[in-house]
Every structure is written in C-alpha cells, then in structure tokens.
Structure 1
Amino acid sequence: MFNNEALDPVSIQSPWRRSQQSVQESKGCQTKAVQSAEAEVQTVSTTVSGTQTESKQQATAQLVPQNFHGPVLPGLEDFLQRVEDTVITQLVRNARSHAFDGFHVNWEDHSHLVSCHHHLQHPSAVERGLHVTGVSWSCTGAVIVCAYGRIDDGDWSTERSYVCTWNLHGRGLNPKQADVVIDVPTAVTALCCHPNQPALFAGGLYSGEVVVWDTSCAEAPMLVQSGMSADGHREPVYEVEWVPLQKKGEFGLLSACSGGRVLLWTLDSDQGRLVLNASYALVQQQVPQSNSSSFKARGSSTVGVTSMALSPWDSDTFLVGSEGGLLLRCSFSSMTPAAVPSEGQSVTPRAPAVFSFRLSSGPIHSIHCSPFHRNLFVCTGTDGLAHVHSLLQSNPLLSVRISESCVFEVQWSPTRPLVFAAATAQGEVQIYDLGRRSLRPAATIEQGGAGTAATCLAFNRQIPHLLAVGKSDATVGVWQLSTDLTEQNPRENSLLEQIANQVAG
C-alpha cells in the first residue's frame, strides 16, 4: 500500500534575512583640514624736533605785548631798546652781589609768629597753687612731661606734688586731665626725659633724691630711686641730665644739687636702685681764677650748683652755674674713677673745674649749649641778661637784655642757629634772633595774669614748631611757632661763626 520514492529537494529563501542584509551600509566621515598662518609685526619709533631762533627785529617786537590793544606810546619801543642792555647788565650785577644775603622780608606781624596750640593743666595742682618747675618732651616728640613744685619762698619741703604727662597725638587728649598722674611725696625740682626710651624720665626732688619713672608700668611707675645715703645728695636737686656711658647704648644719670655736689648714677633695674658711679664736689678754694673774675675763696665752703649743661660736641665737657654767680667749665675725666666702687664702698669726690668765666651779679638759673657750634653757650640768671659765651674766653661775647627781673630758663632753637628763647619772671617768653639788625625780640609770648611767671620752657626737637612753656599758675602752654622762627636762613651758620670768632671785650 505504501511505496518508497525519492523526490528532489525544494529550497525556500527567507525574506526576513534578505531584508536585513539589504539595509546594511558602510559609511565614513572626516573633518576638514585646519588651516594656519604666521604673521609678524614690528613698530618703528620716530621723533622729529626742530628749533629756530627769532630774528633781532622779531625779538624786539615782543617788548610790546601781543594782546595789547591800546595805543602804543610814541618812543616807547625806542626807549626800551636803548635801556635794555643797561638793565640786563645791572640785573646780572645784582645777581652776583652779596649785599642782601641772609635778608628775608617778613610780611607777618610779630604777634602772628606764635599761636597757642594747647593749654594744659592738672586741676589738683591748680587748686593747691603749685608751680610748674619743669617741662620736657619725650624722645618721640609726642608726649610732654610736666613737674610741679614751688619756686617761691616758704617752708614747702614736705608738700606733696605731681608729675603729669599728656600725649598730644592721642585721640582722647583732654587739656584739663593728664593721661598719667604720678604722686610725688615732695616737690619736684628737676626733670629730664630719656633720649631713647619714650616711657622713661628722671626727676630731682627737693629732698635730694633722684628718681626714674617708667610710665609703661601703670601700677608702679617709679622704676628706681637713689634714696638717702651719706654719698647721695642732701640738698635740693636742681638739675638732672642723661649721660651716654662708655658701653654703647646705655645711659647714666647726672644730677647736681645746691650743696655743691654733682653725682653720676647708673641704673640697676633688677634691684630697683641707682648705683653711684662717680662724684665730685665744687669747693671755692679749688675753683680756678680768671683775670676778669673778682671771686675770692672764703674758707672751704662749697659752691651751690643751681644749673648745669652738657656739651653735645665734647662728651668730656659740662658746665655748671652757681647761686653765687660762678660759671665754670668742668671735665668728666677729672672725676671718673679708675673702677666702679663696689657696694658699700664710698666714692671719693673729685674737683672737675678747669676754667672759670666772668662772675655774674647773681645766681645763674639756666645754661644751654649751642647745637650748631661747639664753643658757644648761653646762660641767664637774676640779672635779667642773656650772656652768649665762648668756651675759650672768660668774658661774654654778647649780652642781651631780656627782662628787668629774673630769667628762669634759656634754650637755643634746635633748628635755627641764631635763635634762642628765654622765660622770665614777668610771665613773658622772649624769642631772639641774633641775625637781626636790632637786638629786640623777634617774638613775644604772653599768657596769664599779672604776677604769673614763666618758670620753664622746652623746644620740641622732633617737632620743631612746638614750644612748651610752664607757668607759675600750674599751667603749661604749647605754642606753635611760624616758619620764620623755625626754618634756617642762608648763611646763618656763617653769621654764628662770626659771633664765635670775635674777641670779647
């Protein structure tokens, strides 16, 4: 019923596979080539200048202004041409002349040369009627230190006083309230700020003690104190000065008292005391005599020192003035011992006076050495005169009448070689210029009522236009000086040299 039979194969192509192959394609892409180019540039600087002189006719025509629209006076152009050579010759001669060297026209009135900048006072000192006995500027020139005491007669040795400071550059400056007030158990008779450290200043007391204060220590401003000892001062200390020591950067303290002794101290901050380094005593029998001095030694009494000044030119020279009118040049080398004495060892006083100047008629209250000439200094006292001296001559080179009464202090200007200021008992501060034809004050400072004396003054070395003046009414005036009193004039040093080289009569 079934039979085997071989049949031919039958193939059927897939339409799906064929459709997939038909859509496959091969493609490719490529970016266009980047084009680049190089270029160079260079600048070229050129300058074109030219000059041309005018002809003589054109230059002459310029004598008449181009913008002059008025009628030209007849003969004016001819006149100007005739006198031109004569006028030019005279102008050249005037330019070479020295007839008016050093002369400057002052268009200001003398009353406008000074003006009050600050009026400082401590209320407690005003209420107690204390006097300003010393003013001193800090080494920065920003702080002024004021000492209180008394300059009149009477028993005021036990009266308490003050030392006050004001920072003039401070934001909260109050003229009637000091920044720092230090209570002192007795009157302060001398004051001097440290030359390098603005917070340190030294003072001399009526009791004979020497004190150094440090305002950076608000709780305990007293840094060191000399104390009362057999080798120390026993009379009021009228002068204190900072002295550079042989060890670089260190300073000692020189003090002078009315008992005729001058002492050199060194600071021992660790033990809080002043160590006596050297001492000398001025004895009348040991004072050198000058031909012009009528001073005669009487017994072996000492010379009471009332003023002292250090030479800024010679570290071995200092000057002292006495209550008897003696004016002496002294030498440190004659008083410095070979070695510093040990603790408990007394110091042998030396006699340092090497030269005496002409005797004054009364006590010498102030001496100041010129900062512009090594041989000149000025001194004042009860005779009312300012004596300009040379270290090489006994007689004064020049004497200027300052006041009919006492002159308490005198100082050279730190910027003008021929200018100095003097504080008088009449309450005036007279400022003199030795370069003027007349020896009349260049400016006068007057402030305060009748009977108010100007007791002290101090130029500000860092801010030359400021001058501090202490008064007997417990006030301190800070005055501003004009440029006429502070800026140096031409040939001023040569005029000072002429004064120094003249022979005293």
Structure 2
Amino acid sequence: MFKDEDLDPIQVTSLWKKERDLTDSGIQTRELETFDVAVQSIKRKHRQVQTDEDIEEDIRLEDDDSPELSDFMQRIGPLMIHELQKNMRSHAFDVVLTLTCYLRYGRYDHEDWCTHKSALCTWNLDRRTLDANKPDTVMDLSSCLMCIAYHPQKPGLIVGGTFNGEVLVWDLSREDDILVASSGIGDDSHREPISKVEWVKDQDAKGAKYKIVSVSSDGKILVWQRNAKKHKLKLSDGFILLTESLPRHLRVKAKRGDQEMGVTCISFNPLDETTFLIGSESGGIFKCSTNTHGTPAGRELVSSILLSSPVTFSFSPHHGPVYSVDSSPYHRNLFISCGTDNTARIYSLLQMQPVLTLEPSAGYLYSAKWSPVRPLVVAVVTESGQLLLYDLKRSRTSPVHKLNSSERNRPLYSVQFNHKQPLLATAGADGLIKIWHLSDDLTSPEANENDVLEEIAGAALK
C-alpha cells in the first residue's frame, strides 16, 4: 500500500543575481575663463583758498562844537527819546496779523452727531515774540467749540459752549487743571448746539460777581452760577423762546404755541442788564426781561426749574435766520442785527420797524458789532469774506472801508472790537483769525456824534 520511491532531481537556475555590463565614458566641464581689469582710485587735489583780510575802517568823526548844534540836540533829543519809547509800544505798522487756527472754535456744517476734535487756542498780542502759528495756550476738546466769551474783569477766565450742549469755563491763570467748571450733560443742560454765551453781572450778589448766560437752538436761555469748590456750573434760572412769541403771520398753524423755537444770538443792554435781546432761527427778534415769566414750557420738557417765556416785545423780523444782535454802548434804545436776508438793521426798542437798514449786497451777514469808542461806527462781516466798516456820520448807505479778509472769499463768521486798543478781530471758514489795526478816523471820537446818534434814534418817535 505504501512504498519508498526515489525521484529524479530537478535543477532551477537562480535569477536574483545577474552580471552587469560596464562601459567607461568621459565627461568634460566648460573651461573657466578669467579676465584681469584694472581699476583706479579717485584722484584728490589740493587747492589753496584765501579769505578776505579783515580791514579795520578808520572812522573819522568831525568835531562840531557849534552852539547851534548844541541847542538843536538839547531841543530835539528829549522828543526823539520820547518817540522811540512810544514806538516800542506802538502797533502802528501792524496793519494786519494773521493767526492760523487749525482747530478753531468749531464747525457749522454738521449734519447730525459731532465726532470732530476741537481746541481752544489763545495768543497774547502784546508779546514781542508772538508766533502767529504757535498759540500760547491750546486746550483740546472732544466736541466742536461753537462760541466763547472773556470775563469782563478777569481776562484769564473764558466760558465756552460746545456742539453737544455743554458749557465749560477755563482759567488761564492756573498752571494746571485749567478747566475749572462744567455744566455737564443732563436734563438741565442744552440738548442742541450752543449758539452764544455771555458773562452778565449778578444784580443780586454783593460786589462784582458775574453769571453766565447761554442760548441754544433748543430754545433755552439758561443762567448759570459757578461753584468754584465743586468745579460745576449750577443752573439758577432759565427761560425758553416759544412759537407764540412770533408775529401771527409767521406762525405755523399746525404747531402749538408752547413749542420751543431755536435761539441764535443774545445781547444784554449795557445800561439796563435786566433787558436783553435775542434773535431766532425763524428770523424773529425779541425784547426780553429777566423779570418776566410768561407762558411756561410744555410738559414734555424736563428741567429742575420752571422755564417760561421772557418775551415782552417783538420787532419786525428778518427774512431768514438772525445771526447777530448787539446793543449800542452809547444809547440805551438802539441795537443792530443782521442775518441771511443780506441786511443789517438798526432798531429802536421803542418801535417795531427798523430805524435804519444797511444793504451792502454782499450775501449773508453773519455778525455786526458797535464800536466801543465811536458811537457811529459799526463793523459787519459777510458771506463773501469781506469786513465792512460803516461810519454813520459820513454815510448811512455805504461802508467807508471794505476790506477782503479772506483770500478765497470764504465766509467770515465773527467780528469783535478790542475795548482797550484800536484793534479788531475777524474769524471765518478758512480757519484764520485776523487782527486789524484801526485807523485814527475810526477810533477818534468826533464832535456831535452823540447828537447824530440821538437823531437816528429819534426817527422812531416820528
């Protein structure tokens, strides 16, 4: 069944190992080529130079001991010394000085919220080292500064109003913490940009103390007391301009009479500080009194004090917003106003219609001011960048001086006289403040000026 069997062997040749064929071949690199180039360093040469020899000039002075020369020098010497000393203090040749304010008071072309950075800049014009491009003081603000006013007796105190409705007070005499008071933002503050701020003498306080009055396009006229210890401004009194104060033909029938109306400017009577004038966005001009409390504001207006209308009389309105009102410092019944109807008007408190109308045909008029030294001189600035100076004794229709204050015909928004020096300042949309030196004919009072002013005011009684 099983048996042993021998099979023939089978041989299988291995394939993992194979003899390789080798071939020898030669390769050659490209021959390296070298070149020799000669270079030369810079040649230097020496030359002799010769400076001019300093030669001392022999100045020969002629001796003159004549009595005539001696008498002349004794007579003219004191006069020359007096004039030289006078010239050191004089600004006679400072025709115009341009001060560049890159961030001036603020912008007037806001469409909604204010997100601009602003600054308050000051210069001292009496400094011999005055630099027009470098202010003496710069205070940065987080909102546009719309208006400022210096304290009447303490020039270091400045009050300003911002676009956000805040009233701020700075004291430049302090080395640090220059901001000394603020109204803050709340129910008692303005809710719209502040149009004007003023220092007004406090009739109830002992001594020369001043209150701050601010007006805004929210219709509020607020009176502030400064609390020096708490660095705050406290609301002490207030008023509001209501649509019921407008003449009947200017009222909008759909609006209630207790609706507020924007205030654009204010001026207190220098001879009766209980009386003040306000201009409005609607063109109306109103005589007001701090002793009058008329119709109260509507219920929707929140305030810690009762706000009521101060209006006692309304004048014939401008045909557009009023940008400036200014009471005459020489006559208790006269004031000047201007606005977007291209006219500047002089009114009397005794009648509704203006007693004199100036029409310079220069576009909108943004500011008008009475001269503090000449009763018949007024200054007006225009939309076309002109400074107009009127002398009502010489002409009641045309300015005696018409000056271009803006090189690119940009609007001028503000004009202000200096009460101690013959200087006038203008400021406009080009970011420049210009200081003008007034000539003698605009600063030297003339005979019978008050009589002429009385004649103009008397036209109201005819």
- TM category (shorter chain) comes to 0.7 to 0.9
User: Does structure 1 retain, via aligned residues, the 8 Å contact 2:246–2:284?
Assistant: no
User: Does structure 1 retain, via aligned residues, the 8 Å contact 2:118–2:143?
Assistant: yes
Look up the equivalent residue of 1:233 and give its one-letter code: H
User: Does structure 1 retain, via aligned residues, the 8 Å contact 2:374–2:442?
Assistant: yes
Deviations 1:417-473 (A, max 9, x none): 11100111100010011112452111122133224221111100011x100111211
User: Does structure 2 retain, via aligned residues, the 8 Å contact 1:260–1:283?
Assistant: yes
1:181 aligns with 2:141: no
Structure 1 residue 345: Cα displacement? 8.5
Look up the equivalent residue of 1:459 and give its one-letter code: F
Change (3 A) 1:194 1:272: same
Q: What residue number does 2:309 align with?
A: 351
User: Does structure 1 retain, via aligned residues, the 8 Å contact 2:188–2:303?
Assistant: no
User: Does structure 2 retain, via aligned residues, the 8 Å contact 1:288–1:355?
Assistant: no
Look up the equivalent residue of 1:346 and give its one-letter code: S
Aligned to 1:149, the other structure's residue is in SS state coil
Change (3 A) 1:471 1:156: farther
Distance 1:208 1:221 in 2: 20
**Aligned with 2:162 (options 202, 205, 218):** 205
Deviations 1:199-227 (A, max 9, x none): 10100100000000111223321110000
1:320 aligns with 2:278: yes
1:169 aligns with 2:126: yes
Look up the equivalent residue of 1:469 and give its one-letter code: T
Distance 1:489 1:381 in 2: 30
Distance 1:501 1:205 in 2: 40
Q: What residue number does 2:229 align with?
A: 270
Distance 1:156 1:429 in 2: 32
1:23-34 to 2 correspondence within 5 Å?
none
Q: Normalised by the size of structure 2, how large is the TM-score?
A: 0.74
Distance 2:369 2:396 in 1: 20
Identity between Structure 1 and Structure 2 (%): 35
Distance 1:451 1:373 in 2: 34
Q: What residue number does 1:362 align with?
A: 320
1:365-376 to 2 correspondence within 5 Å?
365-376=323-334
Distance 1:277 1:480 in 2: 40
1:329 aligns with 2:287: yes
**Aligned with 1:295 (options 250, 268, 284):** 250
**Aligned with 1:398 (options 349, 356, 371):** 356
Distance 2:282 2:303 in 1: 32
Distance 2:359 2:461 in 1: 17
User: Does structure 2 retain, via aligned residues, the 8 Å contact 1:396–1:504?
Assistant: no
Q: Compare relative contact order (CA 8 Å, sep 6+) and give the higher one, 1 or 2.
A: 1
Distance 2:239 2:361 in 1: 34
Aligned to 2:249, the other structure's residue is in SS state coil
**Aligned with 1:240 (options 183, 197, 221):** 197
1:131-170 to 2 correspondence within 5 Å?
147-155=104-112, 157-170=114-127
| Number of residue pairs the alignment of both structures matches | 359
Look up the equivalent residue of 2:230 and give its one-letter code: Q
Change (3 A) 1:254 1:477: same
Distance 1:345 1:412 in 2: 36
**Aligned with 2:238 (options 274, 279, 301):** 279
Aligned to 2:250, the other structure's residue is in SS state coil
Look up the equivalent residue of 2:100 and give its one-letter code: Q
Change (3 A) 1:345 1:451: closer
Structure 2 unmatched ranges of 5 or more: 1-91, 295-301
User: Does structure 2 retain, via aligned residues, the 8 Å contact 1:226–1:232?
Assistant: yes
Q: What residue number does 1:418 align with?
A: 376
Aligned to 1:316, the other structure's residue is in SS state strand
Deviations 1:182-211 (A, max 9, x none): 001111111100011121010010000000
Structure 1 residue 321: Cα displacement? 0.5
Distance 2:193 2:336 in 1: 24
Aligned to 1:242, the other structure's residue is in SS state strand
Look up the equivalent residue of 1:203 and give its one-letter code: G
Structure 1 residue 406: Cα displacement? 1.0
User: Does structure 2 retain, via aligned residues, the 8 Å contact 1:120–1:476?
Assistant: yes
Distance 1:115 1:403 in 2: 29
User: Does structure 1 retain, via aligned residues, the 8 Å contact 2:268–2:277?
Assistant: yes
- Which protein shows a greater Rg? 1
Structure 1 residue 152: Cα displacement? 2.8
Structure 1 residue 158: Cα displacement? 1.5
Distance 1:228 1:154 in 2: 20
Distance 2:352 2:303 in 1: 38
Deviations 1:241-281 (A, max 9, x none): 00111212111100000000000000001001000000111
**Aligned with 1:384 (options 335, 342, 349):** 342
**Aligned with 1:408 (options 361, 366, 375):** 366
Structure 1 residue 294: Cα displacement? 2.6
Look up the equivalent residue of 1:277 and give its one-letter code: S
Aligned to 1:148, the other structure's residue is in SS state coil
1:493 aligns with 2:450: yes
1:306 aligns with 2:261: no
Structure 1 residue 116: Cα displacement? 2.9
Structure 1 residue 172: Cα displacement? 2.4
1:456 aligns with 2:414: yes
Structure 1 residue 176: Cα displacement? 0.7
Distance 1:504 1:457 in 2: 31
Structure 1 residue 504: Cα displacement? 7.5
Structure 1 unmatched ranges of 5 or more: 1-112, 131-146, 337-343
Structure 1 residue 497: Cα displacement? 0.2
Distance 1:451 1:499 in 2: 33
Look up the equivalent residue of 1:406 and give its one-letter code: Y
The CA RMSD over aligned residues, in Å, is: 2.1
Aligned to 1:503, the other structure's residue is in SS state helix
Aligned to 2:453, the other structure's residue is in SS state helix
Q: What residue number does 2:219 align with?
A: 260
Distance 1:167 1:270 in 2: 29
Deviations 1:342-401 (A, max 9, x none): xx9911112110000012100000000001100000000001111000001000001001
Distance 1:302 1:249 in 2: 33
Distance 1:345 1:251 in 2: 23
Aligned to 1:484, the other structure's residue is in SS state helix
Aligned to 1:315, the other structure's residue is in SS state strand
Distance 1:283 1:327 in 2: 12
Structure 1 residue 151: Cα displacement? 2.1
